Amino acid sequence: MADSLSQVAGELYGLPPAEFTAARDDRARRARAAGDREAAAQIRKLTRPTLSAWLVNQLVRASGPLMSRLFEVGQSLHDAQRDLDGDRLRELAVERRQVIAELMPEASRAAAAAGVTVSGSALDEVRATLEAALADADARAAVSAGQLTRPISYAGLGEVDLAAALASTRPGQAGRPGQAGRRPPAPLRARSGPVPEGDEAGPAAEAAGQDRLIADVEAAEQAAESAARDLAAAESRSLGLVEQRQFLGRRVAHLQAELERAETEDRELAKAVREAKRGQEAAAKVLARAQRALAQARGRAESR
């Protein structure tokens, strides 16, 4: 039953959100008609994903190599934070930005291929979910299952709350899409509450907390450096645009002066044309009188 249910969930969470509910209800009816009431009930519990969660699920299905790289970078970040390897953390910060930058256009293309319109806020949620997968092992496992129902985020302290973000094909488990027969990821839970008896505590927990704080400081430093670089670039661009605008202003003033001179010259030429026409008309009258006098003189000469 579990494998069949996992397969159904994998198929459903690959569909666009608009098609999810009808397809889920149809699969539940078919299971019930086949006499498997338990499977039908479990299928009906599957939650329709938000648009951003669906996009992340699509990235898992359609952009496997890039997502694998994201997971590898996330694990490497965890190792570097544990080892307090500042140089490695700086290297990985570049890789982290690169893999996110490569995945975001893939999400837009996946939406376009499915004929789905994506808002900027939905893409922001996709980015936040990918960032959470980089920062937290449980979030990586949840994303890799390809069955998110809600976006997830990482605030920088504590663990990611996955309580409402996962589709569960049986208590505590979710099958990965297209990997029938593989063991599902281990149960995922938010550990923001008290630590139960038997869980790791004491020095190990303190060391883990210290690692997380150091990692947060490193991340904050990197964010500040990145923001400073962005500010410097923005200031440089702003100054460049101001200088370009000043140059264009001088050019406009020069062209306006040229236009005024051309207009003055045009008015002067128009006046000269009018005067020339009056002179032309006067000369034509003189010529006409001269031609009449010439004709008369010739007539008198011929009559003698």
Q: Are residues 19 and 80 in the same domain?
A: yes
Domain boundary among 150, 172, 189: 189
Same domain, 246 and 134: no
139/262 same-domain check:
no
Same-domain status, 152 and 286: no
- 208 lies in some domain: no
Q: Are residues 136 and 262 in the same domain?
A: no
Which helix H or strand E contains 293, and what residues bound it?
helix 203-303
- How high is the pLDDT of residue 196? 40
Distance in angstroms (rounded) separating the CA atoms of residues 190 and 42: 23
Question: Exposed, middle or buried: residue 128 (CB in 10 Å: 0-12, 13-18, 19+)?
Answer: middle
Q: What is the pLDDT of residues 12-39, one digit of tens each?
A: 998 988 899 999 999 999 989 988 889 8
Q: What is the pLDDT of residue 59?
A: 93
Task: Say what percent of the chain tops pLDDT 70.
Answer: 74
Question: Who wins on pLDDT, 164 or 20?
Answer: 20
Average of per-residue pLDDT values in the chain: 79
Pairwise CA distance, residues 251 & 74, whole Å: 53
Tell me the pTM: 0.53
225-276 pLDDT per residue, tens: 778 777 766 766 676 677 667 766 777 887 888 898 889 989 998 999 999 9
> 261 with 140, same domain?
no
User: Is 226 domain-assigned?
Assistant: no
Number of domains the chain contains: 2
Do 118 and 252 belong together in one domain? no
Please state, in angstroms and rounded to a whole number, the distance separating the CA atoms of residues 41 and 88.
48
Q: Which of 189, 221, 255 is a domain's end point?
A: 189
Q: Is 211 contained in some domain?
A: no
User: 3 falls in which pLDDT band (50, 70, 90)?
Assistant: very low
In a domain, 216, yes or no: no
Task: Say if residue 184 is in the same domain as residue 272.
Answer: no
C-beta neighbour count of 247 within 10 angstroms: 10
Q: Is residue 232 part of a domain?
A: no
SS3 per-residue string spanning 179-214: CCCCCCCCCCCCCCCCCCCCCCCCHHHHHHHHHHHH
Residue 214 — very low, low, confident or very high, per pLDDT cuts 50/70/90?
low
Same domain? For 37 and 153 the reply is: yes
Give 169's DSSP letter. S
Question: Is residue 236 domain-resident?
Answer: no
pLDDT of residue 52: 93
User: CA 41, CA 236: separation in Å to the nearest integer?
Assistant: 61
Q: Are residues 126 and 269 in the same domain?
A: no
Among candidate residues 189, 206, 233, the one where a domain is terminated: 189
Domain hosting residue 78, numbered range? 2-189
Q: Which of 97, 179, 191 is nearest to 139 (CA)?
A: 191
DSSP letter, residue 116: -
Say if 199 falls within a structural domain.
Answer: no
Looking at the structure, tell me whether residues 176 and 298 fall in a common domain: no
- Per residue in 122-157, pLDDT (tens digit) is 999 999 999 999 988 999 999 999 999 999 988 665
| Other Cβ atoms within 10 Å of 279 Cβ, number | 10
CB 151 within 8 A of CB 52: yes
CA distance 130 to 108: 14
Residue 164 placed within a domain: yes
Q: Are both 120 and 185 inside the same structural domain?
A: yes
Exposed, middle or buried by CB within 10 Å (0-12, 13-18, 19+), for 95? middle
